[in-house]
Structure 1
Amino acid sequence: MTVHETDALAKTTRINMLFDFYEQLLTEKQQTFLKYYFHDDYSLGEIATEFNISRQAVYEHVKRAEAVLENCESKLKLLAKHEAAEQWLQKLDAAAETLADGDLREELMAIAQGLRNE
């Protein structure tokens, strides 16, 4: 995998995660185009053909939607908080694994799983 492919995958993953948190703050058209582009891996041209608009119009909708998602994250930090919580849960899992006491280990692992399900 090239650096460009890795960067593209990282961007797609980030946009999809931001979309999960902030989808309702986008217009219906922005939601649709982001789903097609980032989730379903349609090209700009394919989306343009599907909606009978120009490729440039699709590009502008996608870029505006990305900007809205990034702006929401810069203010609300929901993704950053989610990622931090996941790191702490992984540390809790690792600490629980080192415990010799089976009951305490199971209880801590159950707590971590419960937090993940919230």
Structure 2
Amino acid sequence: MDARVRTSLLYDFYGPLLTERQQRFIELYFGEDLSLGEIAAEFQISRQAVHDILHRSEAALEALEAKLGLLRQYQRQKRRYARLRALLEELRERGLTPPQEALVQEMTALLEAMGREVD
């Protein structure tokens, strides 16, 4: 996974646990795609200071993930969800009796509801 995407996902899970300043810098750099220089100019600090804050913020996000594993768990759940959808589709393609089709439809509806919760 791309490092920027990973950091953005980690921020989605753990962002509120960062300081307000760290949150703002992450949002500007990763969310609004501002450069280090642009952020530095906005806050009247050096590019190095911006880099250091971002680096510490990313380290904090990674430390939280190492302890809590929410991103890892989310990714595992998404893979399982996709596999279940594929298996249900495979069952449908084999041809089912009406009672089996009703069961597959109910499972599909439950999976769809879960998918909305996962996304």
Is structure 2 residue 56 aligned with structure 1 residue 57? no
Deviation per CA, 1:53-88: give whole Å up to 9, x if none: 111111111000000000000000000000000000
- Give the corresponding residue for 1:94: 86
Q: Which runs of 5+ in 2 are unaligned?
A: none
- What is the TM-score with the length of structure 2 in the denominator? 0.86
CA distance in 1, matches of 2:36, 2:71: 26
Deviation at residue 33 of structure 1 after TM alignment:
0.4
- What is the TM-score with the length of structure 1 in the denominator? 0.87
Q: Which runs of 5+ in 1 are unaligned?
A: 1-6
Deviation per CA, 1:11-56: give whole Å up to 9, x if none: 1110000000001110001000001111111110011011111111
- Give the corresponding residue for 1:30: 22
Q: Which amino acid aligns with 2:113?
A: G
- Give the corresponding residue for 2:69: 77
2:13 to 10, 21, 25: 21
Q: Which amino acid aligns with 2:110?
A: I
Whether the 8 Å CA contact 1:93–1:108 is kept in 2: the answer is no
- Give the corresponding residue for 1:4: none
Whether the 8 Å CA contact 1:92–1:108 is kept in 2: the answer is no
CA distance in 1, matches of 2:108, 2:5: 27
What percent identity do the matched residue pairs reach?
Answer: 43
Higher mean displacement: 24-33 or 103-112 = 103-112
Whether the 8 Å CA contact 1:30–1:62 is kept in 2: the answer is yes
